[in-house]
Amino acid sequence: MSVEQVLQHDVRRRKNTDEKLFDCWICGKSFSKLSNLNTHMRIHTGEKPYNCGICNKSFSVSSNLRRHMFTHTGEKPYNCSKCGRNFSHLRNMKRHMLTHTKEKPHKCNQTCNQRFSDSSNLKRHMLIHAGEKPYSCPICGRNFFQLSNMKKHLNTHIRASYTIAHRTEKVSPKSST
């Protein structure tokens, strides 16, 4: 019996049991399908065979490329049934839905006990307790907790340099030829 026949026999046997017999030898995660293990292995190898034809960003899974394409098309197929807001990604819509339920399952276990509807907001909040400011302004070196705050700050440099350049343009004498 060939290896493929053994695997096919094993797959047929497992269809009813849904056992996870394929283990990742690097991290130990288990899968019920060999194809899922193969896809998972791309996390460890860094292989990203699916490329966006517009921006050349690459992905390890084809569904991530399809989802990414929404950023170029502007398509937002996921709709919040409560407020009508549209989302390009299902996970973003699900996260948004928590704002309507007022449910905040993620709690800061530091001194403040603040609660958050989303785990990413809790992680961002935890940077405050850790004193970490991972985002640095490339112009002046000022550090920020959030990328969005650093970008807002960066715009002050851009506006200032534009204003200076614009004033210089108005003041400088025109050269005559």
Are 134 and 152 in contact, with CB atoms under 8 Å apart?
A: no
The pLDDT value given to residue 54: 94
Give 64-100 pLDDT, tens digit per residue: 999 899 889 999 999 999 999 999 888 889 888 888 8
Q: What is the CATH number of the domain that holds 159?
A: 3.30.160
The boundaries of the domain holding residue 113 are 76-130
- Is position 58 within any domain? yes
CA distance 40 to 30: 10
- Is position 48 within any domain? yes
Q: Provide the 3-class DSSP secondary structure of residue 104.
A: coil
Give 108-131 pLDDT, tens digit per residue: 887 788 888 878 888 888 888 888
CA torsion 71-72-74-79 (nearest 10°) is -40
Question: Structural domain tally of the chain?
Answer: 3
Write down the pTM of the prediction.
0.45
Please tell me whether residues 82 and 121 are part of one structural domain: yes
The single-letter code of the amino acid at 6 is V
The pLDDT value given to residue 109: 85
Please tell me whether residues 123 and 147 are part of one structural domain: no
Is pLDDT at 164 greater than 70 in this prediction?
no
Cross-strand partners of 50: 59
**Residue 7: which of 31, 26, 34, 25 has the closest Cα?**
34
